[in-house]
């Protein structure tokens, strides 16, 4: 999991050159400005191929799909569906807590092999797709091999970077031909399963998904995430001439909390679709989202509680549509370019919306509030702040505190000489007789900016302090069970398993 300690330098809202330009632009010059804007935005949008590739040391024990026994080709022509699915299914836990660990029975001192919370065997791994184009013909899904009804959890599917690693659906693939019956290219979790809201710790990172041509029912990613997990640095595109495809990113079920960051979607009926079964709510945060060329809506929120920070939409349809009365959307820092008519935000029925720093151009209406709404439609193309519902702390005369929003931190380093392996400093994998804390501490104090844990179990019997020049710790899903270091002091995780 990417725990990082450094914030990426990204222009703040106040310094965004696009917003300033737009406010001053004449009608005739806006098209040109948007062309320039698109180039500018690409500079701090999802990672591009010019950036160094995401790589892992050989001894990190990451599952590389191009190596035995999986042998995915990544050559753009071989069908890699089976190879990638085999890698995912061999390394999917299906439950959350499940890294195998050892617990000492407090009465007998006996060591007990402890698996997941449900006692099922399983592991959680990082599955890595090196640079290449992986042609697929069916859904990539880490189905739990032990229980097909179980949601799959704790899979980190990571590529070498946007534009470097491409998962491409073959043209006119059977099963992807009907927009009314969406079918996923990448899926975490069960679309309509009984185990909704249990996609713990799922990650899709640093890759492009192309749904190809002639697949109007395709969904780039159906993401089930719960409590922790993210999509980040991902581009989802339809290379169909008509940009056919049902949704770039879809949440069908109750899911959250989760983070979607640095996502770019081109084409599809919906760039991002958030739907629910019978239950809404759940919290998804979006940050730095670029949507273009959608056919129905850039983002359609139908029943979730979402926060969208830094949305850039270039569309001939509404950038945002909402439906269902319990839908809640917070939209902060949005630049929405339209075709010259229609509504930038269309509420199909009254729901909750709070907007801060929005610039809409090329639409008749900025916000269409819908029949029965508490407030009339909005035509002002620039909004500093606007909301549908007055809260007790917020009246028409008072706005929010307008606190600045920092981007979530990020740090990448492709120079493997700058990575410190904790086992090179004394920690031992899958041996709980020792205390791995001194080795881990030595790695942190080594001066290397990245510290990593080859996949396995480590035992902590004394304190570890993150300090000095370390910028990122890539845990790669280890088990880190803390032992009792002095009477009455257990880590929270172990306490939750075995209170005494
Ligand atoms: Ca050890």
| 467 shares a domain with 338 | no
In a domain, residue 74? The reply is yes
Determine the Cα–Cα distance for residues 468 and 219; give it in Å rounded to an integer.
Answer: 44
In a domain, residue 396? The reply is no
In a domain, residue 274? The reply is yes
In a domain, residue 110? The reply is yes
Question: Beta strand 132-136 with 111-114: parallel, antiparallel or unpaired?
Answer: unpaired
| 473 shares a domain with 378 | no
DSSP 8-class letter at 60? G
| 197 shares a domain with 113 | yes
How close is the Cα of 436 to the center of ligand 1, in Å? 5
How close is the Cα of 420 to the center of ligand 1, in Å? 17
Number of folded domains that form the chain: 2
In a domain, residue 208? The reply is yes
How close is the Cα of 2 to the center of ligand 1, in Å? 22
| 450 shares a domain with 312 | no
How close is the Cα of 476 to the center of ligand 1, in Å? 16
| 262 shares a domain with 218 | yes
Give the pLDDT band (50/70/90) at residue 88.
Answer: confident
Average pLDDT, the chain: 80
| 370 shares a domain with 486 | no
Tokens of 177: 């031909």
Query: What residues sit around ligand 1, an ion, with C-beta below 5 angstroms?
Result: 428, 431, 434, 436, 459
How close is the Cα of 458 to the center of ligand 1, in Å? 5
Helical (H) or strand (E) element with 82? helix 81-90
Helical (H) or strand (E) element with 343? strand 343-347
For the chain, what percent of residues have pLDDT higher than 90? 53
How close is the Cα of 174 to the center of ligand 1, in Å? 49
Q: Which phi-psi region, left, alpha or beta, contains residue 41 (left: φ > 0; alpha: ψ -120 to 50)?
A: alpha
| 454 shares a domain with 350 | no
How close is the Cα of 488 to the center of ligand 1, in Å? 23
In a domain, residue 30? The reply is no
How close is the Cα of 435 to the center of ligand 1, in Å? 6
User: Is the preceding omega at residue 280 within 30 degrees of 0, hence cis?
Assistant: no
pLDDT tens column, 1-18? 333 333 333 333 333 444
Choosing from 362, 387, 412, the residue where a domain stops is 387
pLDDT at 44 over 60: no
Determine the Cα–Cα distance for residues 397 and 351; give it in Å rounded to an integer.
Answer: 21
Choosing from 371, 387, 403, the residue where a domain stops is 387
Q: Could you tell me which of 362, 391, 384, 386 has the C-alpha nearest to residue 376?
A: 386
pLDDT tens column, 447-496? 999 999 998 888 888 888 999 999 999 988 777 765 544 444 333 333 22
SS3 29: helix
| 343 shares a domain with 293 | yes
Determine the Cα–Cα distance for residues 33 and 24; give it in Å rounded to an integer.
Answer: 11
Q: What confidence score (pLDDT) does residue 396 get?
A: 58
Q: Could you tell me which of 38, 25, 32, 39 has the C-alpha nearest to residue 381?
A: 25
How close is the Cα of 432 to the center of ligand 1, in Å? 5
Give the pLDDT band (50/70/90) at residue 21.
Answer: very low
In a domain, residue 335? The reply is yes
| 302 shares a domain with 177 | yes
Phi, psi for residue 274 in degrees, rounded to 5: -120, 110
Give the pLDDT band (50/70/90) at residue 401.
Answer: confident
How close is the Cα of 475 to the center of ligand 1, in Å? 15
Range of the domain at 352: 58-387
How close is the Cα of 434 to the center of ligand 1, in Å? 5
Choosing from 334, 368, 387, the residue where a domain stops is 387
Helical (H) or strand (E) element with 225? none
| 263 shares a domain with 160 | yes
In a domain, residue 172? The reply is yes
| 212 shares a domain with 113 | yes
pLDDT at 194 over 80: no
How close is the Cα of 159 to the center of ligand 1, in Å? 30
| 443 shares a domain with 296 | no
């Amino acid at each position: 999991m990417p725990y990082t300690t450094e914030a990426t330098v990204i222009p703040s809202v106040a310094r965004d050159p696009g917003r300033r330009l737009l406010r001053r632009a004449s009608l005739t010059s806006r098209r040109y400005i948007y062309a320039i804007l698109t180039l500018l935005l690409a500079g701090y949008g999802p990672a591009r191929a010019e950036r160094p590739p995401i790589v892992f040391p050989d001894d990190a024990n990451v599952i590389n799909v191009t190596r035995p026994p999986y042998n995915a080709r990544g050559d753009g022509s071989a069908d890699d569906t089976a190879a990638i699915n085999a890698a995912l299914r061999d390394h999917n836990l299906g439950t959350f807590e499940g890294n195998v660990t050892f617990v000492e029975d407090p009465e007998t001192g006996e060591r007990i092999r402890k698996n997941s919370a449900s006692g099922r065997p399983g592991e959680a791994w990082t599955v890595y797709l090196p640079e290449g184009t992986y042609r697929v013909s069916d859904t990539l899904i880490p189905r739990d091999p032990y229980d097909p009804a179980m949601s799959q959890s704790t899979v980190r599917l990571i590529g070498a970077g946007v534009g470097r690693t491409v998962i491409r659906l073959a043209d006119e693939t059977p099963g992807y031909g009907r927009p009314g019956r969406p079918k996923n290219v990448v899926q975490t979790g069960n679309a309509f399963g009984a185990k909704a809201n249990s996609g713990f710790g799922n990650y899709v990172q640093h890759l492009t998904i192309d749904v190809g041509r002639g697949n109007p029912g395709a969904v780039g990613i159906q993401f089930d995430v719960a409590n922790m997990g993210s999509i980040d640095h991902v581009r989802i595109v339809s290379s169909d001439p008509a940009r056919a495809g049902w949704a770039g990113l879809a949440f069908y079920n109750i899911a959250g909390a989760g983070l979607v960051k640095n996502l770019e979607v081109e084409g599809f009926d919906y760039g991002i679709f958030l739907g629910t079964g019978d239950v809404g709510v759940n919290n998804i945060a979006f940050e730095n989202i670029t949507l273009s060329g959608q056919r129905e809506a850039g983002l359609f929120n139908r029943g979730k509680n979402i926060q969208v920070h830094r949305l850039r939409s270039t569309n001939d349809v509404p950038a945002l549509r909402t439906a269902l009365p319990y839908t809640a959307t917070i939209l902060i820092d949005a630049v929405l370019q339209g075709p010259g008519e229609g509504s930038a935000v269309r509420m199909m029925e009254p729901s909750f919306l709070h907007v801060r720093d929005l610039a809409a151009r090329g639409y008749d209406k900025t916000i269409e509030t819908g029949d029965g709404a508490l407030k009339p439609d909005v035509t002002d193309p620039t909004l500093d702040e606007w909301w549908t519902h007055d809260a007790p702390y917020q009246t028409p005369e008072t706005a929010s505190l307008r606190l600045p929003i920092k981007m979530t931190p990020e740090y990448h380093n492709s120079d493997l000489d700058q990575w410190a392996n904790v086992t090179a400093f004394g920690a031992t994998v899958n041996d709980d007789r020792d205390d791995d804390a001194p080795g881990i501490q030595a790695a942190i104090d080594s001066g290397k900016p990245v510290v990593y844990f080859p996949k396995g179990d480590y035992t902590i019997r004394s304190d570890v302090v993150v300090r000095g020049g370390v910028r990122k710790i890539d845990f790669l899903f280890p088990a880190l069970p803390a032992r009792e270091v002095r009477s009455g002091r257990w880590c929270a995780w172990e306490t939750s398993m075995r209170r005494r």
